[in-house]
Structure formats: C-alpha cells, structure tokens
Structure 1
Amino acid sequence: MPERGSPTLRRLRLGQELRRWRERRDLSGEDVATRLKWSASKVSRIENAKTMPRKSDVEALTQLYEVGDVHRRELLELHRDATRKGWWEDYSDSLPQEYTTLLGLEVEAVSARSWEPQLVPGLLQTEEYAREVIRATQAITRIPPGEFRSRVEARMARQDLILRNTDPLTLWMVLDESVLLRRFGGASVMSGQLERLVELSRRPNIRLQILPLNSEHPVNTGSFFHLKFPEFHDVVYLESLHSARFVEDEEMVFGYEIAFGHLQAEAFGADASRELIEKTIEERWR
C-alpha cells in the first residue's frame, strides 16, 4: 500500500539541492565534469533526476562544493531515501514511465486539484470502470493480459492515498457533466461508478464538483492534475494520447491554478453536484 515518503520526490529534491550548491560555487556543469573527470551529461542527469547517483558521486560533489557537515548529512540522507523502492515500482514494467513518476510524486503531495472533461479520474474509479477504460485503449495500444491486470491493480492501489484514515490526500476535482453520460461498459458499470462518486464526495478530504453542460465553458483545455507539496514546488501533470509530461515552470503552473479557479467557480457546488450525479444514475443508468 502507498506510504508517505516518496523516493521519486527525494530524487528530484536531491538533484535540485545539488544544482543549487553548484550554482552557489559559481560552477558550470562542464566545470564539475572536468574536475571530477565525468561527462557533462552525467552532471545534468543527476541534477534533473534522470539517473540515480551512487553515494560516492554525492560525496564527491559535496566535497567539490565544500558543503558543511550538517548539509552534507542532509544530502546523504536524501540520497539514502531516494534509493528506497516505492510500491509503484512493482508495476513499472507495465506502466508508462511518466505515469510511474506521477505515482511517486503524488504519494508526498498534500493536496491535488484536477479537471477532467472526458472520464472519471483514476483516483475515483471503481475496478469495473477502470477495466473498461483500459480496455477501451486496446483499439490503439496492444496491452498483454498480464500488463492489463497490473494496470488495474496499480490504479486500485493508488486510491489508498485518498482513503487512508491518517493524513489522506486532499482532493478537489471538477468533472464535466459529459463524464457522467459517456459510457464505459454496461449500465451496471456506469451506475456503480456514479454511486462511487456519490460515496466519495461525502468524504471530508474530497470536494467533487460537476460543470453542467448548459453552463458557459470557462476554460477550453484538456484534463490536468495539479499537485501541491510541502517541501517542493507545485507540479502539473498533463496526459495526451501516447505520452504525458510534467509542467514545473512557476508561471505556467500558476496559470493552471487560475484556470481551475474559473472552473470551480462555474461548476455546481458540492451538494448540487451530488444531486446531479444521483439524478443521472436514476434517469440514465438504471
């Protein structure tokens, strides 16, 4: 089950801190590479968390940067934590790399905001709905049976983030009303999924709003998932047909925060959204 303390975030923080120490010493990546007899690409990969440095690499960098004992111990502790294995890594062979990175990041997030105009997001999906969503991609991606099962299992394990009794992820989601109407599987799958939305919307850490079809659309954009951390900058996750990417630029991330504010302002409130979901179950999926 997911636990607090993400090695993915630790790797990012480690790279970020090492880059800051390099810049404090007014050294370029090429300078570091020359002095340590490394390639410049190795320095870049470490700082951008593209590769996991050895302990000896971190020690060499702290010595070159003349890092004091206290900060040196902190960096080595970050490195130790970064080498631990996250629960999601058991599924890494079956999941896209960007998605496994997302799983690693959200474990340490304190809150998340999500806009979804097409389908129920993975954190709120029932197992039956998740199977149908993944099966729907078979027309364009061939997923072997074993990988199919792993993807469903990972999606269900991920939901511990919002369901755990201690320190659950605070989640604020806005769904387009069309999400309630677009069919995945049969009527029983859809009614079960919408009943799950009603149930989850009553949890104190989850706020669910529906943007009605007859309202003016305030933001013409696809889905996005905005994560907030206590010790790291905000990150926005964007998914496309065959890939995904992370937005970390502060100005761009702030733009998504503004966009979400417009969406939630135009959407029904939590109680009215729950009533709409219940009405859709009765009128469309019974």
Structure 2
Amino acid sequence: MISTYVRRLRLAAELAALRQERRMSSEALARAAGLPRTTVSRLENGRMRPNPNDVMKILEHLKVTGEAWTTLLTIARQASERGWWESAASEMGARQALYANLEAGASTIREYQMTLLPGLLQTGEFTRARAGVDKADWSAHFDPDQAVEARIGRQRVLHRPDGPTYEVVIDELAVRRPATALPVLRDQLIHIANQATTDAKISVRILPVDGQITGHMVPRSGFSIYTYPDPQDPVVVAVDTVTDDLVLTSPDAVNHYLDLYERLSDAALAPQQSVRFLQETAEKITDPTGRAA
C-alpha cells in the first residue's frame, strides 16, 4: 500500500506546475476540460480524492502525452485508492488515520517524541490506557478497542520485508513521567528496549533532560518526518499539537525540521546506551507501596 495522502500532494504539485507552464488560469482549464472550477482548484490543492477520468480530461487539455501522461495517471489512480485506515477512521480516530496514511509506503520514518512514548512502539495495554485519557480525538463513533487494533495495524508496517527504517528520539521526560499505571509503563519500556535490540531497522535514542543541543534549539513539540521511495514525492513533516496535527511539505519548513532532528539525535544517547537507560528505568519502577511494579 502507498500513502494516498502523499500521492494526492504529488498530483496536486504536478498539475499546478503544468497549468502554470501553459500559462492557463484554473478557470480556463476547467472550462476547456468541461469540469467545475472547484474540481481543478481542489485537485491542485490536494484536497480531494481524484477521479482518474477528471485527471485524464485535464491532461488532455494540458497536452500531456507519453511517459508523463502514464506517470500522472498512475499517481491519480493510486491517490484515488482507499487505504485500510479509511474504513474505520471515525472509530480509530482521525489523527491516527492520518498517521497510518503517511506511514504507508514510507521508506524512512524519523520521529521526535516529547511527551509520550512512540505509537509505532506502543504495547496494546499502553495504547488502551492512553485512549481512555486522550479524548480530544474522540468522535461520536470512537471505539478504544478499534484504536488499539488500528495501532497494531500501523505497527505491522515496520516488520514488512519492504518496510521503512524507523528512527526515534524520545525525550527523557516521556520515559520518566508516568503516562499510565506503573506496571503498564514498566512493560512498555521493556517492550521498546526489546524492539530496539531485535529489529535492525529500528533505532531508539533517549534525549536526556540535560542534553546539550547544538545552538540550544529547544524543541517546542513532537514531530515526525517521512520520506518515500519515489524521489519526486515530497518529504512530509507532521507536527504534533494538542488537538491537531500540522502537515508540512514546503522545503523551507521541512528543512527546519530535518536540521532540528539531526541536532536532537546528536544530543541524545547512543542506541546501546538508550536501551540500557530504558531497561534500568523499567527495573526501578515501583508501585506506591514501594514494591516492583
């Protein structure tokens, strides 16, 4: 499966560039292709699932032929597909559906997690506990059980033969601050350590609270960076906010986060040190009575 969201972005950029090269307005192109102006506008903004027949009409009037025609129509067809996450988006939560879409077909995923442990490495118990707390994403049909199943579905992408490499920098605060019951947190930390030691494509680094970040660029929020096999597809950054996720593709914005990620990674513990940190922190977790959790 490929990211339908990223394919829409790619199609939008290609169509807009072709129209501008032909010195046509979106209104003129819509009239020539026999389409509503809003259809052309929304296609160029990546705001709608494309109808390949509409795209063919546009390509015809933009005089696109040969290999370029085949490539763009293939992108349009991929962008029009429905991913597994769409059938249960309201039950699993719109935010999680967005991340499932961005992860599909990615070749690399790099994340900085500031306050919570990464979703792609969460246990079912941890996800279930957080689903009962993080209600900002709840819709009328939200189902915590479906959210857990969807998280498991997302995690499968890491273990496919053609799955992405996954790097994550986790802030020490996200490790130490109890975001769930202590036994759940202890098992979660052990799980992350095990994943990092048994899967060569997974790299985990812990950013200490006293880590010296080059330029003192203190991060303001968590974020994820996605790249894809097709070099013409955009690099995508998703920035985690309290209630929404901001998706960025402009080179200036993306380059800022690429630079920030490198600084955070350089300031973090090495992977082996990070695994030991997780294991040692888990061993020290006790319940309120002082017994091991």
Q: Which residue of 1 aligns with 2:289?
A: none
- The TM-score, its normalising length taken from structure 1, stands at 0.90
Q: Which residue of 2 aligns with 1:154?
A: 150
Q: Which residue of 2 aligns with 1:246?
A: 247
Q: Which residue of 2 aligns with 1:175?
A: 170
The aligned length equals: 281
Q: Which moved more, 1:49-58 or 1:189-198?
A: 49-58
Q: Which residue of 1 aligns with 2:279?
A: 278
Counterpart mapping for 1:226-245 below 5 A? 226-231=225-230, 232-245=233-246
Q: Which moved more, 1:198-207 or 1:212-221?
A: 212-221
Indicate whether 1:215 and 2:215 are aligned.
no
* 1:18 Cα offset (Å): 1.9
Secondary structure in 2 matching 1:80: helix
Quickly say closer, same or farther: Cα 1:245–1:96, change in 2 above 3 A: farther
Distance 1:86 1:207 in 2: 27
Distance 1:269 1:156 in 2: 27
Q: Which residue of 1 aligns with 2:159?
A: 163
Kindly indicate whether the alpha-carbon contact (under 8 Å) linking 1:235 and 1:246 is maintained by their aligned counterparts in 2: yes
Q: Which residue of 2 aligns with 1:46?
A: 43
Cα shift readout 1:53-99 (whole Å, capped 9, x = no counterpart): 32331121111001113322332222232332211112222245454
Kindly indicate whether the alpha-carbon contact (under 8 Å) linking 1:98 and 1:245 is maintained by their aligned counterparts in 2: no
Q: Which residue of 1 aligns with 2:118?
A: 121
Quickly say closer, same or farther: Cα 1:96–1:249, change in 2 above 3 A: farther
Which residue among 186, 191, 202 is the counterpart of 2:186? 191
Distance 2:209 2:8 in 1: 42
Q: Which residue of 2 aligns with 1:130?
A: 127
- Aligned-residue CA RMSD (Å): 2.1
Runs of 5+ unmatched residues, structure 1 = none
Which letter does structure 2 place at the counterpart of 1:133? Answer: R
Distance 1:143 1:82 in 2: 25
Kindly indicate whether the alpha-carbon contact (under 8 Å) linking 2:90 and 2:142 is maintained by their aligned counterparts in 1: no
Counterpart mapping for 1:33-112 below 5 A? 33-97=30-94, 99-112=96-109
Quote the sequence identity (%): 27
Distance 1:247 1:66 in 2: 31
Which letter does structure 2 place at the counterpart of 1:204? Answer: A
Which letter does structure 2 place at the counterpart of 1:250? Answer: P
Runs of 5+ unmatched residues, structure 2 = 287-291
Distance 1:53 1:118 in 2: 37
Kindly indicate whether the alpha-carbon contact (under 8 Å) linking 1:8 and 1:82 is maintained by their aligned counterparts in 2: yes
Cα shift readout 1:167-224 (whole Å, capped 9, x = no counterpart): 2211111111111112133222011100111111112111111111233454232101
Quickly say closer, same or farther: Cα 1:55–1:268, change in 2 above 3 A: closer
Secondary structure in 2 matching 1:221: coil
Distance 1:136 1:74 in 2: 45
Which letter does structure 1 place at the counterpart of 2:235? Answer: D
Which letter does structure 2 place at the counterpart of 1:187? Answer: L
